[in-house]
Amino acid sequence: MSPPVRSPLRLRLLLSLLALIAMVRGLALVGHDPLLALANNYDQIRYSSCLDLAPWRPGVPPDRGNPQAPLARYAFQPLPAGTCVWTSDLVFTAPVALAWRLGEALGARAVHSIRRLGEWRLLGWWLVAAWATCAFLRERRAGHALAYLALFALVAMDPANLLYLPTFYAEAAAAFAALVCISGIAVALVRPTRVALGVAALGAALLATAKFQHLVLPLLLGGALFAAGAAARRVAFAVVAGGLVGLPLQLAGMQHATRMAHSIGVVNRADFLLTVLLPESDDRARVVARLGLEPACVAYAGRSVYAMPGPVEQTCTHADRWSRAELWWLLVSDPPALARALAHVPRLLLPWIPGLGQVEGGHYAPLPSTIPSLGAAFGARPALALALLLLPWLVLAGAAAARAPTSARAFALTCASGSSAVALTALFGDGDVELAKHAHLAVDFSLASLGVPLAALAARIAPAPPPAERPA
């Protein structure tokens, strides 16, 4: 039997360099002093309260936000009832909370650094990347391995993603789930082994349970794969199966958080009405009559519920009776209004990093210049946002024109569908309010589509070794 064929030196050097860049970028942010993270705009309490955790601030209500800067120290403390929202992020947060509990039982301090959560998450990201890279190399797809690691170092390890790691935001779970799902899909499209299909299904399940707005996203991704052709059908079924597993779990979680879920639903519907439907409708009187809107409520058109002096139900007294289906129909049945509403997305998709404080102890301080980010390069330009949304569709068109393999076209279509679905869900879910934060994954999906041309280019730069000879 001939000895196993080793990868060419140039390939090993390139892969090592990309892995080193990814590790340095990850450690530079997660290990930075002072802490770099996305400040709490209040939302984090929905998820940390499931573990009885909140920022350690003696004399400050535990559920009060701190949007000007991230907080590094957390402690177990009594929290308001009914605020816990289950999410797949418990896969990361629950073990850390358990370790803290055990440490306290053994005499450790009762105040804990959220850096430990960031480090634990970062390890998970690296393990996924290592698995995918090794899987591509086992299939002798050097171009795929190089493209994957390049995008992992450039996009996945960008501060726009990493700033969520030392936080309790649900976006941390969504970004990790998207990485797992995309990695599993990419590997399974090369060869649908049980492990690769299982990783894709796991990522889909985690994605469906990360945030309520991503409930049906795995089903849409699976549909895109199914439409790509017979060669991608097994991968499509795995992703759909994972999404169907996550679907009832997410619904059960929302039922568990009855009070919080109801409050969030009312606010989201009101934001959609005030920031999208009313400003863009060609027949505002029709909307007002159908929903029973008072003049005081209509007066807030173009502004969110956070501009109101109190709870939205005090100004829009029928807010808890509105259904999402009716609100959406009022927009969709008015095509000119729908077209104008869709134009909100490129205007609001950026900046990729939300305008919250990012440096511990600062006051809405941005990232230091020593921590580069694509988010800073993107800025908030609507034209660039539109280009990002179109990017995966252009990659798909290019792959079709070049008669690329089904796997390449299927991956591009998946990225295109994911990016568009996330952006539209954010618009129809909460209107203009924090759309860039809610549509965070749209940019990730769009940039992931670059893996198709990068893999083709990398295959020419560092071709895979020839297959090993079979024994005579």
- Compute the C-alpha angle 142/147/153, nearest 5°: 125
User: Cα 204 from chain centroid?
Assistant: 12
Question: Is the pTM higher than 0.75?
Answer: yes
Q: What letter does residue 466 receive in the DSSP assignment?
A: P
Give the C-alpha separation, 265 to 272, whole Å: 11
CA distance readout (Å), 401 to 108, 382, 388, 409, 452? 62, 28, 20, 10, 13
Give the C-alpha separation, 427 to 275, whole Å: 10
Give the C-alpha separation, 243 to 73, whole Å: 35
Diameter of the chain measured on Cα atoms = 86
Q: How big is the chain by its Cα radius of gyration, in Å?
A: 23
Residue 379, classified by CB atoms within 10 Å of its CB into exposed (0-12), middle (13-18) or buried (19+), is exposed
Give the C-alpha separation, 79 to 52, whole Å: 6
**Please, where are the H alpha helices in 152-257?**
159-162, 170-190, 194-208, 217-228, 233-256
User: Cα 303 from chain centroid?
Assistant: 26
Q: How high is the pLDDT of residue 160?
A: 97
Kindly state the tokens that stand for 188.
Answer: 């399974």
Give the C-alpha separation, 217 to 385, whole Å: 21
What kind and span of H or E run contains 354?
Answer: none
- Show the beta-strand stretches assigned E in 30-163: 53-55, 73-76, 112-113
Which residues of the chain are under the pLDDT cut of 50? 1-5, 468-472
SS3 337: helix
Q: How high is the pLDDT of residue 2?
A: 41
Kindly state the tokens that stand for 157.
Answer: 């390890």
